[in-house]
Structure 1
Amino acid sequence: MVVLDKFEMPNIDLDGIVKHLKETGKYTHQLWLNDESLAFIARGRTYRSEFHINPSYEIQFSLIGDLDLHYRTPEGETKIAHVPQGSVLYQEPFVPHSPRFAPDAFQFIIERARKPGEIDRFHWFCPKCDNFLHEETYVVDDYRKDPVGRAYDNYYTSLEFRTCKKCGTVAPGRD
């Protein structure tokens, strides 16, 4: 039997967090992080184009607005799972996925906390010929460190990373 010294069940004000994200212009707010799970609220980004590959499952709840979850099959085909407001999607680990939703839309996401040594990958592909463009890797152990934002900064500030070596197309920058 496990004896808990401190037992908390926080009541989280999701409306207040959405308001805070809108007012500050931030894109994520971590709700909790413990040995088993992490949860956060994410706001949409118009420039999102990468495919995130992580070792955890994801549970994505469309809190406000709709989500179009672009994902790549093992054969490299891109498909879209539409998640309307009020709906939830469960995603298996290691599925290359790109959650795309409007800046005024918000997702509530729960994931398994990463185990030591696990790496998250971010892949970009050419918008014209689908050739692999670039990979960023991060240890995602705390969303307050903004690993996704750092991956975007590295990619979008580099013309070299955004230029296709196969067809010469330059992928768009951030708008």
Structure 2
Amino acid sequence: KEKNYSTWSILILSRLEENSHLLEPPINNHCVYNEDVIVMIVGGPNSRTDYHINETPEWFYQLKGAMLLKVVDNGKFKDIIIEEGCMFLLPANIPHNPVRFAETVGIVLEQKRPEGSLDRLRWYCENCKSIVHEESFHCIDLGTQIKKAVTQFKENKKLRTCSHCNVMASTEHDSINDLKSA
């Protein structure tokens, strides 16, 4: 079947106005395209503390305001600021926690997941940096699947307790709702 490519043009800002109600915590994303490439509009603030691990690269573009991308690179925790108008390509298999502030909007592009690939959500202990909990799933609907795992983690104190130092992991960033920008 022949495709009509002219219908693929997306007016991001008008799409945002129409769908701003869909950008709600804890994930704050709305998928605008989902074929070979997944295109999501993501708003802030969010309150996630999980680190997402994707077997394919992810491309971030900040349309409005700055965001903070927390990563674990070779065992070291690092912060990457992505300013408004800037883009960043995150390599595959890098644990990352996208921190989005109030009144910010970004676009994220991801590859459709190959059959058999697994996305992971990982929570680290703020005290000793050990892995507290990890969930794996084949990604079909990222927003729904992440939301389910984040909700289960928030509601289960046993999942949130570090087996190494017995500290309970937080489920939200400190004062995230008060922050406007990085």
TM range (shorter): 0.7 to 0.9
> Is the aligned partner of 1:127 residue 2:126?
yes
1:33 and 1:142 in contact (8 A); partners too: no
Equivalent position SS for 2:132: strand
Q: What residue in structure 2 maps to residue 160 of structure 1? A: 158
User: Alignment partner for residue 147 of structure 2, among 123, 146, 149?
Assistant: 149
Match of 2:44 in 1: 44
Residue 23 of structure 1 and its aligned partner are, at CA, apart by: 3.2
**Residues 1:7 and 2:4 are matched in the alignment:** yes
Residue 22 of structure 1 deviates from its aligned partner by 3.4
2:178 paired residue number: none
Q: Which moved more, 1:16-25 or 1:52-61?
A: 16-25
Take 1:93 and 1:24, find their aligned partners in 2: how far apart are those partners?
27
CA contact (8 A) 2:39 2:107 kept: yes
Q: Give the secondary-structure state (helix, strand or coil) at the position aligned to 1:170.
A: coil
Deviations 1:17-36 (A, max 9, x none): 333443355311111111x2
Equivalent positions of 1:17-28 (< 5 A) are 17-26=15-24, 27-28=28-29
Native 8 Å contact 1:21 1:43 kept in 2: no
Say what the alpha-carbon RMSD is for the aligned residues.
1.9
Q: Structure 1 CA distance, aligned partners of 2:91 and 2:145? A: 21
Superposed displacement of residue 172, structure 1: 2.2
| Contact preservation (8 Å) 1:155, 1:161 | yes
Runs of 4+, deviation exceeding 6 Å: none
Q: How many residues align?
A: 169
Change (3 A) 1:23 1:33: closer
Q: Show CA shifts across 1:137-165 (max 9, x none).
A: 1221234x612111211111111111112
2:65 corresponds to: 65
Structure 1 residue matching 2:146: 3-state secondary structure: helix
Report sequence identity in percent. Answer: 22
Maintained 8 Å contact 2:61/2:108? yes
Contact 1:122 1:137 in 2 (8 A): yes
2:87 counterpart residue number: 88
SS in 2 for 1:110: strand
Number of the residue aligned with 1:101: 100
Question: In 2, distance between residues paired with 1:24 and 1:96?
Answer: 25
TM-score, length-scaled by structure 1 = 0.87
Unaligned runs of 5+ in 2: 174-182
